Structure 1
Amino acid sequence: MNALEHQLSYPLGDTMPETGTTLEIAPGVRWVRMKLPFALDHINLWLLRDELDGREGWTIVDCGITSDETRAAWERIFDSELGGLPVLRVIVTHMHPDHIGLGHWLTERWNCRLWISATDFNAARLASSSTTGFGGDSAARFMQSHGLTDPSSLDKIRARSNYYASMVPKVPESFRRILDGDVIPIGPAGAKHDWTCHVGYGHAPEHMSLHSAGLGLLISGDMVLPRISTNVSVIDLEPEGNPLPLYLGSIERMRALPADTLVLPSHGKPFRGLHTRIDQLKAHHDERFAELMQACAERALSSADALKVLFKRELDLHQTTFAMGESIAHMNALWHAGKLSRAVGDDGVMRFSATSSGRRTAD
Structure 2
Amino acid sequence: MNTIAVPNGLDHPFPDAPTTGQAIRVAPGVLWMRLALPLSLDHVNIYAIEDGDGWFLWDAGMGDAPTLSTWETLLAGPLGGRPVTRLLVSHHHPDHVGAAGWLCARTGAELLMVKSEFLLTRVRLGGLFADTEGHDRDFYHARGLSDAATDGILGRGATYIETVAPLPAAYTSIRAGDVIRIGGQDWHLRTGGGHSDEMAMLWNPQGGVFLAADQVMEKITPNIGVWPQEPSARPLDEFLTSLTAIRDQIPDDALVLPGHKLPFRGLHRRVDELLAHHEKVCGKIMAASADGPSTVGALIPRLFRRELPPHHAGLAFAETLAHVNTLIARGALTHDADGDGKFWLRQVA
The aligned amino acid for 2:14 is L
How much identity, in percent, do the aligned residues show? 34
Matched with 2:85 is 88
Matched with 1:100 is 97
1:315 offset after TM fit, Å?
1.4
1:215-270 deviations in Å (ceiling 9; x for gaps): 11111001001111121100112111111111100111011211101100101100
Counterpart Cα distance in 2 of 1:245 and 1:133: 28
1:271-298 deviations in Å (ceiling 9; x for gaps): 1110001100111111111111121122
Matched with 1:19 is 20
Matched with 1:314 is 307
Matched with 2:240 is 248
Matched with 1:168 is 164
1:318 offset after TM fit, Å?
2.7
Equivalent residues in 2 for 1:187-206, closer than 5 Å: 187=183, 192-206=184-198
Matched with 2:5 is 3
The alignment covers a number of residue pairs equal to 346
Counterpart Cα distance in 1 of 2:190 and 2:112: 14
1:112 offset after TM fit, Å?
2.0
Equivalent residues in 2 for 1:276-355, closer than 5 Å: 276-355=269-348
Counterpart Cα distance in 2 of 1:16 and 1:135: 41
The answer (yes or no) to whether the contact 1:263–1:274 under 8 Å persists in 2 is yes
The answer (yes or no) to whether the contact 1:197–1:209 under 8 Å persists in 2 is yes
- Partner SS, residue 298 of structure 2: coil
Q: Which moved more, 1:169-178 or 1:128-137?
A: 128-137
1:207 offset after TM fit, Å?
1.0
Q: TM-score, normalised by structure 1?
A: 0.91
1:334 offset after TM fit, Å?
0.8
Identify if the C-alpha distance between structure 1 residues 334 and 45 changes in structure 2 by more than 3 Å, giving closer, same or farther: same
- Partner SS, residue 281 of structure 1: helix
Structure of greater relative contact order (alpha carbons < 8 Å, 6+ residues apart): 2
1:137 offset after TM fit, Å?
4.4
Q: Which moved more, 1:345-354 or 1:104-113?
A: 345-354
Identify if the C-alpha distance between structure 1 residues 349 and 171 changes in structure 2 by more than 3 Å, giving closer, same or farther: farther
Counterpart Cα distance in 2 of 1:107 and 1:210: 20
Counterpart Cα distance in 2 of 1:171 and 1:302: 39
Equivalent residues in 2 for 1:148-227, closer than 5 Å: 148-149=145-146, 151-187=147-183, 192-227=184-219
Identify if the C-alpha distance between structure 1 residues 348 and 275 changes in structure 2 by more than 3 Å, giving closer, same or farther: same
1:130 to 127, 131, 154: 127
The answer (yes or no) to whether the contact 2:98–2:164 under 8 Å persists in 1 is yes
The aligned amino acid for 1:223 is Q
**Over the residues paired in the alignment, what is the CA RMSD in angstroms?**
1.8
- Partner SS, residue 117 of structure 2: helix
Identify if the C-alpha distance between structure 1 residues 205 and 216 changes in structure 2 by more than 3 Å, giving closer, same or farther: same
Identify if the C-alpha distance between structure 1 residues 159 and 252 changes in structure 2 by more than 3 Å, giving closer, same or farther: closer
- Partner SS, residue 44 of structure 2: strand
1:136 offset after TM fit, Å?
4.7
Identify if the C-alpha distance between structure 1 residues 66 and 138 changes in structure 2 by more than 3 Å, giving closer, same or farther: farther
Counterpart Cα distance in 1 of 2:267 and 2:172: 29
The aligned amino acid for 1:239 is P
The answer (yes or no) to whether the contact 2:99–2:165 under 8 Å persists in 1 is no
The aligned amino acid for 1:68 is A
- Partner SS, residue 150 of structure 2: helix
